[in-house]
Chain A
Amino acid sequence: MSDALDLGVNEVVGVSRIEGPLVFVEGTGSIGYDEVVEIIDARGQMRLGRVLEVGEGIAVVEVFAGTTGLSIDGTRVHFLGKPFHIPVAEEMLGRIFNGLGKPLDGGPAPLADRYADINGQPINPTARVYPVDYIQTGISTIDGLNTLLRGQKLPLFSGAGLPHDRLAAQIVRQAALGAPAGQSSAKSEQFAIVFAAMGVKHDVASYFRDSFTESGALTRVTMFLNLADDPPVERLVTPRAALTLAEYLAFERNMHVLVILTDMTNYCEALRQISNIRGEVPSRKGYPGYLYSDLASLYERTGRIKTSEGSITQLPILTMPNDDITHPVPDLTGYITEGQITLNRDLDHQGTYPPVAVLPSLSRLMKDGIGEGRTRADHSHWSSQLFAAYAHVQDVRALASVIGEEELSKADQQYLKFGRAFEQEFVNQGLTENRTIETTLDIGWRLLSMLPKEELTRVSPGEIEQYYMDSHGAH
């Protein structure tokens, strides 16, 4: 790694204290805040770190690989004079790196086009282009009700043991630039996938790799892997390295880049650990007060800009501790991202795949990516009607559980039937089933037609005329 950096300043100094993943360095000269550091242990082994705080003659350094095996006397520290940089190049596609950007696949270090600071810089809002092109994922709950656009950040809120990996892999496999209903959607040539694993198990990483291999996409994928048994602090670098490459590919090489970050909960744990060791004042559940800003510094690295044809779409995955959506990690994520796809354990138990809980899911950018000329003219009213009807199903179910189904009014009994069919036929779909937007819209209308016309107040009379199916299935 050190050869990757221009060794401007190369100070060698001693360590005065070691605490968790932090080393406190004394006798330093001119050290920059946020600078990269090489730590060399008594046996001459090198590990990397970063300056978290500097004073005159002292610095607090976070050691990515942890401090195991470091001693106060035998450790030397080199300050490299600049923040963490990684090489970026198109030829990094098809390669696998560790969480700090070092090759893991036995291949040589990539020939860098240039070195980029992993912290990136904020995109100027005036330079952005508002996303409007939808991505057809072939999944009804997404395309129909929570449409994903190119340049959107849309996380999967999941829980331990739920099939978020399968869903993410299916999205990657099926994603194509959306076209109006009836026209075929096209796979883009200029696509790339940047995959960052943070603290996930080996089999998760290999599942994704196999899935990329099967779909023939592997040569368009770059993987940054920090696995469960890799040093936790390294995780703080992994997504930044991934996004730095993504920005290069999207904004300098005009590619449509899909970034998968998994699992954000592990990332946040690492951040919490460092913060606690530093004795910072915690906000909720021991997470630092700056967790929001820190997450935003990752999630906001998404979108489109005027000077490039490319885009970055983010699909972060997080497991909600105890399935609790109010836990700080999903909560602060939801406050930053442009919606969320929420998975639900009950649906999963029922055998519904993908177990997408429609009501707590949301795509904020959807409104500008659907409708006439993009998907179909009725899409917006149609989705609003499905949401409203399915929301009513929840009330009816609650009531039915008290008074029994037979006691329900006739309309409410129809809602119950609709609800079941909605979950079985609309939400539920095969792992390889790739539905066109037209199919999705049609299934929705077929289900809505199980309800009396008078109940459908969110769609227009004209739309009912055109799409509502009477009992024989005709319009």
Chain B
Amino acid sequence: MSEQIGRVTWINGPVVRAQGSRHVNMLDLVEVGEDQLVGEVIGMTGDVITIQVYEETSGMRPGAPVYTTGLPLSVELGPGLLRSIFDGVQRPLPVIEMRSGSFISRGMHLDPLYRKDRWNFTPKLKVGDSVSGGMILGTVPETEALEHRVMVPPNVRGALTWIAPAMQYTIDEPIARVRTESGEQELTMLQHWPVRKARPYKSRQGKAEPLITGQRVLDTFFPLAKGGTAAIPGAFGSGKTVTQHSIAKWADAQVIVYIGCGERGNEMTEVLQEFPHLIDPRSGRPLMERTVLIANTSNMPVAAREASIYTGITIAEYYRDMGYHVALMADSTSRWAEALREISGRLEELPAEEGYPAYLADRLAEFYERAGAVETLSGQTGSVSVIGAVSPPGGDFSEPVTQHTKRFIRCFWALDKSLASARHFPSINWLDSYSEYMEDVADWWRAEVGQDWYALRAQAMEILSEESRLSQIVKLVGSDTLPDEQRLVLETARLLREGFLQQSSFDAVDSFSTVQKQIRMLGLILLFHRQAQRIIKLGAPINVIHDLPVINTMIRMKTVVTNDDLTKFDDIEKNINEQIKKLETEYL
């Protein structure tokens, strides 16, 4: 399949020029040099072909041959994706380890999906059925947590002339034949899809459900919808990765695609070591069974970093097309943007802001646009939610990647360096963050949780913004000069911050809160606030309210009350009422 198209004339890091054929397609996959390093055609001028190479080009020489595969950069889709870890161009890292040991060597050509595994296929259609792209041919239990729905490839349409009986097959054995306009076509469980092209669906869906993450500040204050987009910008060490890991662990999505894009090797290792042992509370199975990992760590070649994002989102779309809710995390999109910048710089393109190419905004838009809740080609509901970490230089959000990202996302979880250094985690700033999904998900809360989440949240936000206003005064004159009503606002805001917003990802009880637990906690803090307000009006001084033991109880309740025993909240409620009552009788 490889045809020689030219010879290398110039090498500068990952960017290589070759001279030769004029009949090469933009974005075609090529192999360069004796080592057959994989690259992609990113530019053509006359007979000069510009290529970005996905591997280290050290030692490559002018004159080296270039071959084309005639195909664009694509991913393999089929059973076996879950539980895998791939590099940025979908090479399976465990196989690389078997072949080349602890260090990744160059020029390895490996099948992304393992060919020898046999999968239990159960047909869902019969001979004679007319089929079209996206229809479900049959199912395979890919893991115990997830049923893989084998689909007719998007561009195939016709009548089914044969379908394999229920049995075990490898992914390249035929499982069906379709008579199409252009003749009979054999289908296997293995499909290919070009990564830079969004997979088709029937229509976008309007109705939104929240993606529940178990993280209180997210679910309660800045909810993300299934199929929505969110950005987590923050300086180094502010908590982007821990937040993304927490979402990957606890989000109520059926499939997780986690892209480590230009980040630390150890962080991928951590997921690899931890996820097989963590049990998904919903499926009762290890988290790894619903997870696909893509790792292009910061020391891996930069061109493959650019590709890793597309590899990940294409896999996410594939599971969406089966009718699943998929959540994709990209940590960090800034490294991807920097990869674009580096390639662009070596191409000597005209830079726009801060050296980024002028098309940065377009690429970001294209990526986030691939999120969404859709009606699939087969009429089911599926979604891809995208959560992108952003790493602004110096933690300054005015830089191009953060600013452009903001235009294309609807949930902004702003991490705050000063909260992080005070060890308030997650360090999501409640005044700078926002969610545009609030109205969309309010109905779901009403139906599923039954309490008026919208109103409770609004009350809490009001107290927090009031606190921020008051703290300006406190900074100048201290809090003693404030009237007691206002000092109570400070007290309740502290309760909200320490008792509700702060959530440790590393505490066994606290790391994940059900929505029921969240709403109950919030309700109690606000109950306390109302009760205290009432007795302050009656003349009870703030100091005695401050000393109520129930305040300490409420700060600790997040780690004391477990998700499966919320009745303890009843006791706390009783405590609040009793302790306030006692004060009331004392001060009346």
Contact = CB atoms under 8 A, between A and B. Distances in A.
Interface of A: 30-35, 52-57, 82-83, 117, 119-131, 151, 251, 280-284, 288-290, 292-293, 296-297, 300-301, 303, 305-307, 326-328, 331-332, 334-336, 338-340, 359-360, 362, 364-365, 367, 380, 384, 387-388, 391, 394, 398-399, 402-403, 407-409, 454, 457
A82 B60 CA distance: 10
A289 B355 contact: yes
A340 B421 CA distance: 12
A388 B555 CA distance: 14
B58 A457 contact: no
A403 B345 CA distance: 54
A328 B269 contact: no
B185 to A, nearest CB: 37
Interface stretch (B65-73, B194-202, B471-479): B471-479
Given A56-B10, A384-B423, A296 B298 contact: yes
B338 A289 contact: yes
A284 B354 contact: yes
Interface residues of B, number: 73
Q: Is the interface of B mostly helix, strand, loop or mixed?
A: mixed
B104 interface: yes
Nearest to B295: A125
B536 interface: no
A130 B269 contact: yes
Contacts of B333: none
Interface stretch (B95-103, B124-132, B144-152, B220-228): B95-103
Interface stretch (B22-30, B321-329, B387-395, B520-528): B387-395
Contact of A391 (B355, B393, B423): B423
7 contacts: A55-B11, A55-B62, A126-B96, A284-B394, A296-B297, A300-B299, A334-B236
A300 B355 contact: no
Contacts of A408: 478
B61 interface: yes
A126 B269 CA distance: 6
Given A326-B394, A387-B423, A457 B555 contact: yes
A125 B422 contact: no
A121 B103 contact: yes
B60 A292 contact: no
Given A54-B10, A123-B103, A303-B265, A335 B391 contact: yes
B204 to A, nearest CB: 35
Nearest to A305: B102
A38 B12 CA distance: 20
B94 interface: yes
A454 B300 CA distance: 50
Contact of B422 (A122, A124, A331, A359): A359
A406 to B, nearest CB: 11
A332 B94 CA distance: 29
Contact of B62 (A56, A292, A336): A56
Interface in B249-282: 260, 262, 264-266, 268-270, 272-273
B503 to A, nearest CB: 13
Interface string B528-568: 00000000000000000001000010011000000000000
Contact of A296 (B62, B273, B299): B299
B57 interface: yes
Interface string B318-343: 00000000000000000100100110
B105 interface: yes
Contacts of B235: 334
A190 to B, nearest CB: 19
